[in-house]
A and B are shown apart, each in its own frame.
Chain A
Amino acid sequence: MTALLELANLRVGYGQSVVLQDVSLELHQGEIVCLLGANGAGKTTTTRAVSGLLAPWSGEIRFAGENIASIPAHKRVELGICLSPEGRQVFPNFSVHENLLLGSYSKKARQRRAEMFDEVYGLFPRLAERRTQKAGLMSGGEQQMLAIGRALMGCPRLLMLDEPSLGLAPKIILDVYEAVATIAKRGLSILFVEQNVQAALLVAHRGYVLANGQIAAAGTSAELQNSTLVQEAFLGKKPSLLATDGARGHSAAVPAI
């Protein structure tokens, strides 16, 4: 079975500096995969490359079997790749409703707009209550819901969420992940980036750990939960291998899991 999304030896960077050295991963239809890693490991760069905001230096991005590396970003939305970006990036001067309308800008999504509105407002009743509110005046959690809802409005085949828990209170993180779990139950394929490992592994089927622009570990959520590498890097045991940006360039040992 071909994977819905497959990255093969992806190499990407900004200007002169390389961020992703060599990343290969795959995600199958209906799977929920999380991408873990410390700050600066390349998680956001990966989502930006898949959505087309960054052009890969080399390697392949295959979506439903086709190499989409040279397709411009706005056309990838039409293919069904929708990203809720890091830092949410809602349109602050637009109302909630208008933000969602923009989410279904692509031709395919426009035809299913009414249906998607029902779905998104059903999923996030808070957004329905605030539909005329300016997005910029809402709380971080509400903006996060809006960013996810906006991505859903595009009728994604692959939904990407970049750090949906960033800067949110623990209670709100639970709300957001409850919504993600609900979406996941409907069979949507989801790739999400997270620093909050425990929240991520609760929802994801599988995960990859990025370190220094490479895949340092991969496995099912249970495997990752128990792996010493993940525990060391994220769960508070001695911080050694993965550390931070400063360690970029050293290649992390890949443990067998």
Chain B
Amino acid sequence: MDIFPQAFSDAILLAGLYTLMAVGLSLGFGVLRIINFAQGEMIMLGAYGAFWLFTLMGVDPLISLPLLVVAGFALGWVLFHGVVAKVLDAPHINQILLTFGIGLAIQHVAIILWTGNARSTTPDYATTSSVVGDVLLVHGRVTAFAAAVVMVAALIAWLQWSETGRATRAVAENRSAAVLMGIDVNRIYALSFGVSCALSVATGVVVSFILTITPFMGFPMLVKAIAIVILGGLGSIAGTVLGAFALAFAETFVSYYLPEGSGWAEGIAFVLIIGILLVRPRGILGQAVET
């Protein structure tokens, strides 16, 4: 049997998820010029949120998604005003240490509260599947893909057509010119950081019925998100989508076609990071940024 259709559809489904995972990081960097190293822990919090709502109250992850997105936004908003705003003009190393520290703190609180045991949410669609032609479609993955597409599309539409979204892009492009338009840059920063955290929490919710949930799940996802964002070009949403597809296809095809491929696949992200930094440091669609 030809495995290409299966590999292809798996790659597409994974790419949708990867886009959602990386797009928050990309937005945060594009607007605030800060890489939020706690983004992985936001994903983890989202996954636990979905897990507890499902386990304790029987709420389907797709129902809890909007609630947790709002909570994630609020968390981001508070984090911005509480700490991130204070390092906006600080050296990059301070920003990295700060967000990294926030991530570590969240991770350890999660270990204390919820132990290191692996868990997962198990709505019906997590385990059912159907066969279309030669392709096996796991309903959980299809559901996650659909949710991701809806959210990324909503984000793009918001950035493209809403008054505030347009202002957000303007701040990303030229901060002082944006001020001259009457845009309250600090408000846009808080909003973007909030949206960026909300998107990570959303990622956590949709992976809660695909992957195992542990307090440590965030970091590898952060690394992949960084690989995607660097690949596509920091701060470019279109580039992020492209980067997500590139990583998803590279990983999936390596794991299908190489012997012992699934082990190698996890390392693809690093190969891509190193390769792109050597060959085209601004990323595929990125613009040169002065720092």
Q: Which residues in A have some Cβ–Cβ distance to B below 8 Å?
A: 51-53, 72-75, 77-78, 82-83, 85, 89-94, 98, 101-103, 105-106, 109-110, 150-151, 154
Contacts and interface: CB of A to CB of B under 8 A. Distances in A.
A101 B178 CA distance: 12
Q: Which 6 A-B residue pairs are closest in the complex by CB-CB distance?
A: A77-B182, A106-B182, A89-B177, A73-B179, A105-B181, A102-B181
Given A91-B173, A92-B173, A93-B173, A154 B181 contact: yes
Interface string B166-187: 1101100110111111111100
Given A74-B183, A82-B180, A106-B182, A89 B174 contact: yes
B290 interface: no
Given A94-B169, A98-B166, A105 B174 contact: no
Given A74-B183, A93-B169, A151-B180, 18 more contacts: A53-B179, A74-B181, A74-B182, A77-B181, A85-B176, A85-B180, A89-B176, A91-B174, A93-B173, A94-B170, A101-B166, A102-B178, A105-B167, A105-B181, A106-B181, A106-B182, A110-B163, A154-B182
A125 B184 CA distance: 31
Interface of B: 163, 166-167, 169-170, 173-174, 176-185
Contacts, number: 63
Contacts of B184: 72, 74
B168 to A, nearest CB: 11
B44 to A, nearest CB: 34
B181 A53 contact: no
Contacts of A83: 180
B45 to A, nearest CB: 33
Contacts of B163: 105, 110
A74 B167 contact: no
11 contacts: A73-B180, A74-B184, A77-B182, A85-B180, A89-B174, A93-B169, A101-B166, A105-B167, A105-B182, A106-B181, A106-B182
A153 to B, nearest CB: 9
A77 B180 contact: yes
Contacts of A75: 182
Given A101-B166, A102-B167, A105-B163, A74 B179 contact: yes
Contacts of B170: 91, 94, 102
A140 to B, nearest CB: 16
Nearest to A107: B182
Contacts of B173: 91-94
Contacts of A78: 182
A77 to B, nearest CB: 3
Nearest to B173: A91
Contacts of B182: 74-75, 77-78, 105-106, 109, 154
B158 to A, nearest CB: 15
B271 to A, nearest CB: 30
Contact of A91 (B177, B179, B185): B177
Contacts of A154: 181-182
A3 B182 CA distance: 23
B160 to A, nearest CB: 9
A102 B162 CA distance: 11
Nearest to B188: A74
A253 to B, nearest CB: 35
Nearest to B185: A74
A50 to B, nearest CB: 11
A105 to B, nearest CB: 5
A14 to B, nearest CB: 13
Contacts of A102: 166-167, 170, 178, 181, 183
Nearest to B163: A105
B239 to A, nearest CB: 12
A196 to B, nearest CB: 23
Contacts of B185: 74
